[in-house]
Amino acid sequence: MKSKTIATSLLLALGSLFYSSIASSAVDADAAQALAKKEGCLKCHGIDKPKEAKSFKEIASKLKGKDADAKLLEHLTTGPKVKLQDGSEEDHKMLKTKDKAEIDNLIAWLRAQAK
């Protein structure tokens, strides 16, 4: 009787571990898009189509397999100089949010746009 209870609670614990690792690795696309909109990213970047800047699809495809997470994080937190379609240059927008989970989710979503 006792060992069955222990086995059951072990199974339950394993189950919730498994569940939470899935939940934290899945991209929440709606939240990422809402953040991109709130931060003003979509004014310059279309998801599939270029605007003032390249589309996220093109950017993600270019960065594929090249340490994309680190590059994206650096790009979005250091404000490097970029050239707009009209040839003018400006410092790239930096993320206003400092919420690590929100930033990680945005980066995972950006990476997932690759062709």
Residue 72 in the binding site for ligand HEC (CB under 6 A): yes
**Cβ proximity to ligand HEC, 47 vs 71, nearer residue:** 71
State in angstroms the smallest separation of the CB of 31 from ligand HEC. Answer: 13
State in angstroms the smallest separation of the CB of 48 from ligand HEC. Answer: 14
Distances from the Cα of 4 to the Cαs of 8, 17, 34, 76, in angstroms?
A: 6, 20, 46, 51
The first and second tokens of residue 70, run together, are: 């680190």
Measured between alpha carbons, how far is 113 from 115 in angstroms, rounded to an integer?
A: 6
In contact, 48 and 55? CB cutoff 8 Å: yes
Residue 84 in the binding site for ligand HEC (CB under 6 A): yes
Binding residues for ligand HEC, total number by CB under 6 A: 22
Residue 68 in the binding site for ligand HEC (CB under 6 A): no
